Amino acid sequence: MTNTQVTLVQIDNYGPWTVTPTPRREADLQTLQSRLYADISQFVGNRGGYVFFTRFDNMIAVTNGLSMDDHALLQESVGNRYPVTLSLGVATGTDPVQALADATQRIQDAGSAQDDDRRECLEGRTVDEPHRTDADVQIAHFDVINATGNYTDELNAFDTFIEIEQGYAELMGHMRHAHDSLSFFVGGDNIIVVCPDIETAAYEEAIAHVEETVDVKLQVGVGRGEDAHVAGYGAKHALETCRADGTRVELEWET
């Protein structure tokens, strides 16, 4: 049974800030957002977590292994180095969607994302050390079969991007509603999915659904672990098996 710890990272009052007193240069906003994401990725990532850029002003992280003190330190460090601040909501559960909903609720209860008085809120609870297990996190790593040969080297770069995006959009909606999972595009043709305790049949069904609906052929490796890094690393290795053997679904714990 998984017990995923999910953190919602929300930049405080970001929309209004981007146009105050007049609209700020887009290139600076893009730089600020992507560097802030990169910093959070390093902080969370070198403690075993994963963070996804999502909308950049709202990022979603899997943070098993990070304490509330770790979260507070991240918040302090960003506050010291950026012109914006972060609010963080943390929650846990067997269902990643429900955990995220709880994490979101904690931040929403503290005030609106565009409430100038709600700054650096830090709410929620983590999985305590004695209750952690090596099956707390399940990660699936999907990619598009032969994306370079079929798309990147053949279509113009935007039409390739449309294909990848369509595959992602279809998978993200399906995995969320059919399998209570959170799917994130992570660049290239890669999608990382935070899952509850689901098995091969679910992944096969999802792959078939995406292929039927938008004609994008996916393969997936799945891993489990005490944190996102361990689970995700297992998933990457399992995906290498797909690539080597031509299989479509590989569970790392069955190989």
Q: How far is the C-alpha of 232 from the C-alpha of 137, rounded, in Å?
A: 9
Residue 183: C-alpha distances to residues 120, 151, 176, 180 (Å): 27, 22, 8, 10
Our finding on whether 20 is near a second copy (CB under 8 A) is no
- Cβ-based nearer residue to a second copy, 27 or 201: 27
Q: How far is the CB of 33 from a second copy (least distance, A)?
A: 5
User: Among the residues of 10-67, which ranges form H helices?
Assistant: 14-18, 26-45
152 near 160, Cβ under 8 Å? yes
Q: Is 85 helix (H, G, I), strand (E, B) or coil?
A: coil
Q: Binder to a second copy among 2, 51, 75, 227 (CB under 8 A)?
A: 51
Residue 16: C-alpha distances to residues 20, 24, 132, 228 (Å): 6, 11, 40, 33
Name which position in 58, 150, 241, 247 contacts a second copy (CB under 8 A).
Answer: 58
From 67, 108, 241, 247, residue interacting with a second copy (rule: CB under 8 A): 108
Largest CA distance in the chain: 57
Sign of the dihedral through C-alpha 216, 223, 5, 186? negative
User: Judged by CB under 8 A, does residue 148 bind a second copy?
Assistant: yes
x/- map, 215-254, a second copy, by CB under 8 A: --------------x--xx--xx--x--------------
Residues 161-180 that bind a second copy (CB under 8 A): 161-162, 164-166, 168-169, 172-173, 176
Among 27, 129, 212, 244, binds a second copy (CB under 8 A): 27
> CB of 191: closest distance to a second copy in angstroms?
12
Among positions 68-107, residues that touch a second copy (CB under 8 A) are 73-74, 76-77, 80-83, 97, 100-101, 103-105
Q: For a second copy, which residue of 26, 117, 129, 212 counts as binding (CB under 8 A)?
A: 26
- The Cβ of residue 128 has, within 10 Å, a number of other Cβ atoms equal to 9
- Our finding on whether 34 is near a second copy (CB under 8 A) is yes
